[in-house]
Chains A and B, each alone.
Chain A
Amino acid sequence: MAPVAAEVAGAAGTVTFDLATTTVRALNSELHAPTATSYEVLHPQGAHAVAAGVYAPLTIDVRGHAGYYCAGMNDGATITVHGNVGTGVAENMMSGLVRVRGDASQSAGATGHGGLLVIEGSASMRCGISMKGIDIVVGGDIGPMSAFMAQAGRLVVCGDAGDGLGDSIYEARVYVRGAAGALGADCVEKELRPEHVAELAQLLAAAGLEPTGEYAPERFRRYGSARRLYHFAAHNSGAY
């Protein structure tokens, strides 16, 4: 069934939802049972859960600022937000590509299992918290307490990272080009070996950044787990 408030525009077959005249529920219902492959969302005005739970290889362009949990749980779609996003963009993403042309609020990419999240601006606190395999590339800075308990995946930051980076981190790899604040518990700087340069170049290229010159992988530093915190040590057994 064709969505009531949507318009199919010409041969391109892009379906447009104007959230000034229809609801997020109507939009997401269509995206969960899609009748097209390309969608455009107008006037999001900070609405929550825009394009959440998409599990088809759709192309979705959101024109304006989105609210909480935009593109949450994405599984396979290419979602571009031409604006800023609120808390939890692409949280728990499984696969696909989410690109934010502006800034992101807290907990960007939280608990994400896969896919690529690109934030062209900056992300605030707790970026990549508990990430489980997602890749995140941030063009600007990230706020404090980012990559907290990050388990797997890669977080690339072209700007600076706030205090508490990688606190209680597991096996995620963090790359920062600018300055990192105080590192979190059990997070340490590590050697940037050739395999890291190679994966960094790949991630930057995937995000649309030419990995040469100012974005040369060698300009980044690598951070990860010292592995002192999450391994059980036999000599601590008396403490339990």
Chain B
Amino acid sequence: MCGIVGLHLRDPELYPRLGRLLETMLCQVAERGPDSAGVAVYGDHRRCPAGHAAVSVLLPAAGTALDDARARVTADIRAVLPGGPTPLVTAAGATTVIAAPVGVDTLVDAVRRSVPGALVVGSGLDLTVYKDVGGPRSLAATYDLANAQGWQGLAHTRMATESAVVPEGCHPFSVGPDQCLVHNGSFANHATIRRELEAEGVRFDSDNDSEVGARFVAAQLAQGADLDKALRLLCERFDGFYTLLVTSDDGFAVVRDAIACKPAIIAETVAWVAMASEFRALADLPGIDDARIYEPEPERVYAWRR
């Protein structure tokens, strides 16, 4: 099944309310995916202050060992960062978000060198990603989603079909800077495309079919495509069931497969664009009564830019 929600704010006055709105949306699709929940927030300065890059990671530890690992991260990262700035380290469920006033590549490199075994699940100048296994409602509280601010966010509740229920199998998949993909459905030919991408040198972090979609989109974006073109290419190449919500540092896009049996509904007002698996996730958005509400058509890309 799985549930998807996303919110792209046009009205800056709503930025302080992003987390609260997103939490309400997420909880409405909790039953669609009770085994995990992941969130991506663009512009959450609590965890990624202005002028910082942020890297969201899953550390190779759990329980009290995770607390110990987090405690060591600050010093370990500072030791390898040029100029030695003190990173901001915050926890969100199984995820640890590390922010520092350096470039994205510099910070990712510092994390990889100083924290062996850390899995990077998100990176960018504006993006923070939180993922863990468990009930979506309690995870929203664990992430303190209600107090998140920002201009764009998305969330996913997972009912695993193609790979294990572990934090690294949770959506969103963020495999390029400030990029995110969430997926409801299952790709049929993901193993074939995975082999092709691997032959081109692309590395994978999980066995999840959705990660293949994210890697494919990231490869297209890296070659200069915009979200619209990347998703049209995905429709040509991927077989199976999918409703996808894909975001970038300035974009928000939705696409469904040719059969479109995985649900999706879009609502738009002058203040925001929202997408969800079901209307009930949109029902409490401010101004919903005057929104233009419609379902995306099969194999048509719907894209918005900031």
Tell me which residues across on chain B come within 8 A of A47, comparing CB atoms: 280
Give the contact-size bracket for chain B. 10 to 19
A46, B283: Cβ atoms under 8 Å?
Answer: yes
A46, B297: Cβ atoms under 8 Å?
Answer: no
Footprint of A on B, CB under 8 Å? 28, 259-261, 263, 265, 278-284, 293-295, 297-298
Tell me which residues across on chain B come within 8 A of A125, comparing CB atoms: 260, 295, 298
Can you name the residue of chain A whose Cβ is closest to the Cβ of B288?
Answer: A65
Can you name the residue of chain A whose Cβ is closest to the Cβ of B256?
Answer: A125
Footprint of B on A, CB under 8 Å? 45-48, 65, 67-68, 84, 86-87, 103, 105-106, 124-125, 143-145, 162
A105, B265: Cβ atoms under 8 Å?
Answer: yes
Q: Would you list the 8 A-B pairs with minimal beta carbon distance, nearest first?
A: A46-B280, A46-B279, A45-B283, A124-B295, A46-B283, A67-B280, A65-B279, A86-B279
Option from A65, A87, A145, A162 in Cβ contact (under 8 Å) with B263: A87
Tell me which residues across on chain B come within 8 A of A143, comparing CB atoms: 295, 297
Can you name the residue of chain B whose Cβ is closest to the Cβ of A123?
Answer: B295
Given contacts A45-B280, A67-B280, 7 further A-B contacts (CB under 8 A): A46-B281, A48-B280, A68-B278, A84-B279, A87-B263, A103-B293, A103-B294
CA distance A105 to B266 in the complex (A): 12
Tell me which residues across on chain A come within 8 A of B261, comparing CB atoms: 106
Q: List 30 A-B contacts (CB under 8 A).
A: A45-B280, A45-B283, A46-B28, A46-B278, A46-B279, A46-B281, A46-B282, A48-B280, A65-B283, A67-B278, A67-B279, A67-B280, A86-B263, A86-B278, A103-B293, A105-B263, A105-B265, A105-B295, A106-B260, A106-B261, A106-B263, A106-B295, A125-B260, A125-B295, A125-B298, A143-B295, A143-B297, A144-B260, A144-B297, A162-B297
CA distance A103 to B265 in the complex (A): 12
Tell me which residues across on chain B come within 8 A of A67, comparing CB atoms: 278-280
Q: Output the least CB separation between B49 and chain A (Å).
A: 37
Tell me which residues across on chain A come within 8 A of B278, comparing CB atoms: 46, 67-68, 86
Q: Output the least CB separation between A88 and chain B (Å).
A: 11
Tell me which residues across on chain A come within 8 A of B260, comparing CB atoms: 106, 125, 144
Q: Output the least CB separation between B35 and chain A (Å).
A: 20
CA distance A153 to B160 in the complex (A): 39
CA distance A144 to B28 in the complex (A): 28
Select the residue from B28, B265, B283, B295 with max chain A CB neighbours within 10 A.
B295
Can you name the residue of chain B whose Cβ is closest to the Cβ of A65?
Answer: B279
Tell me which residues across on chain B come within 8 A of A45, comparing CB atoms: 280, 283-284
A84, B280: Cβ atoms under 8 Å?
Answer: no
A84, B293: Cβ atoms under 8 Å?
Answer: yes
Tell me which residues across on chain B come within 8 A of A84, comparing CB atoms: 279, 293
Tell me which residues across on chain A come within 8 A of B294, comparing CB atoms: 103
CA distance A179 to B263 in the complex (A): 25
Can you name the residue of chain A whose Cβ is closest to the Cβ of B282?
Answer: A46
CA distance A145 to B294 in the complex (A): 17
